[in-house]
Amino acid sequence: MVTNLRSLAPETMSLSMEDQALSPAGSDLKCDGYGIFLVISSLLFVLYLTVHAKKNLNGVCRRGSYVVVSYYALLWLVTLFNLAWSFLQPWQCSPAKEVAWNLLSLFTASGMLCLEISLMAFLLKDNYMSGMEALAHSFHASGIIVFVDTLLKAIYVFGFGVPLFNHNVGSTHTIQWSLWIIHKLLLAAAYGFILFASFSKWKEKLPPRPTFYNYVAVMFVFSVITLFACGLAAIGAGLGNWLYDLTVLCYHSLYLPFLYVTFLADFFQEEDFLLDNAYYSEMKDAGFFDADWE
């Protein structure tokens, strides 16, 4: 009997540790996700968008660009999803919240991917003032790609049980890392092709915007680093898991502000510049500056 008790002791201890890990307190200690930095950065960006919302809405309404209006609305939607994803990190370690966490992660990842792809489609057309036809063109290709990507992820997550959105699994799931390697490889190849085209005879077909090339270069380097991290994690290297976690942290905390500052902020600044020119022209026509020429 003593032997049986001794044999059951490790099992009982193991079960108690598992219960503790799955309890709310254990989740706070072991499943707090990427820390307070992610929550603070996401919250600050939401506050920034809120403060500038009235000015930005007035700007996009005056310009009448369906593409920018749609993209600005999509940015808001994805930002709110990303904020919820940041706050609800402990869900990934709670079996009762597994489905909800996977759905939230799937929608957040799909929204951010849609921003990436539709931005490329929009900038390659290089037309801020286009109408419904350009809107359909910008979101048609990106919509198809994002739909296929989301469908495949949903099949693997909910159909085959692959923990794509659980960063605590380490290197135990080879299929998970293989899928992420393919995903990041395609993104790196796309950004790399655009960089290659900028030094080739197709350069004239690319938008003449320095910010565009800077953005593509940053995203290419980031995609290569993420691809490298996935490769290391797939072979069981601890550095790979740490580096992948770092790339996820940077992506969810910095990509949306980087996107806004690089492109949308310029659009709203251009609107202010055009408005100042209009005011100046009206004042000049009214004779306010005649004394300066006398």
Q: pLDDT tens digits, residue range 68-110?
A: 788 889 999 999 999 999 999 888 888 899 999 999 999 999 9
**pLDDT reported for residue 159:** 93
Q: Is residue 274 part of a domain?
A: no
Question: Is residue 174 located within the same domain as residue 113?
Answer: no
* Position 201 confidence tier, pLDDT thresholds 50, 70, 90: confident
pLDDT in tens, 27-70: 333 465 567 888 999 999 999 999 988 888 877 777 666 777 88
Residue 277 — very low, low, confident or very high, per pLDDT cuts 50/70/90?
Answer: very low
Instruction: Provide the 8-state DSSP code for 169.
Output: S
In this structure, are 184 and 251 located in the same domain?
yes
Which pLDDT does position 6 carry in this prediction? 41
Do residues 186 and 95 share a domain?
A: no
pLDDT at residue 19, as a whole number: 41
* Domain presence at residue 267: no
Task: Answer yes or no: do 176 and 242 share one domain.
Answer: yes
Residue with tokens 């009235």: 54
Q: How far is CA 100 from CA 90, 96, 107, 112, 246, in A?
A: 12, 8, 11, 18, 24
> 272 lies in a domain?
no
Shared domain check, 147 and 46: yes
Q: Are 267 and 68 in contact (CB under 8 A)?
A: yes
Q: What is the pLDDT of residue 64?
A: 63
**Residue 56 is assigned to a structural domain of this protein:** yes
Write the pLDDT tens digit of every residue in 70-80: 888 999 999 99
Assess whether 144 and 83 both reside in one domain. yes
Q: Looking at the structure, do residues 53 and 153 belong to the same domain, yes or no? A: yes
Q: How confident is the model at residue 243 (pLDDT cuts 50, 70, 90)?
A: very high
The C-alpha atoms of residue 124 and residue 215 are separated, in whole angstroms, by 13
Instruction: Identify the pLDDT of residue 2.
Output: 42
Per-residue confidence band for 273, with pLDDT thresholds at 50, 70 and 90: very low
In the chain, the number of structural domains is 2
216 lies in which domain range?
Answer: 169-259
- 89 and 43, same domain (yes or no): yes
pLDDT band at 8 (very low <50, low <70, confident <90, very high): very low
Mean pLDDT, range 100-129, rounded to an integer: 85
Q: Which two tokens stand for residue 119?
A: 């931005």
Same domain, 49 and 145: yes
Query: Do 233 and 241 contact (CB within 8 A), yes or no?
Result: yes
Q: Are 67 and 122 in contact (CB under 8 A)?
A: yes
Is 6 part of a structural domain of the chain? no
Question: Residue 231 falls within a domain, yes or no?
Answer: yes
* Contact call for residues 135 and 72 (beta carbons, < 8 A): no
Q: What is the reported pLDDT for 58?
A: 78
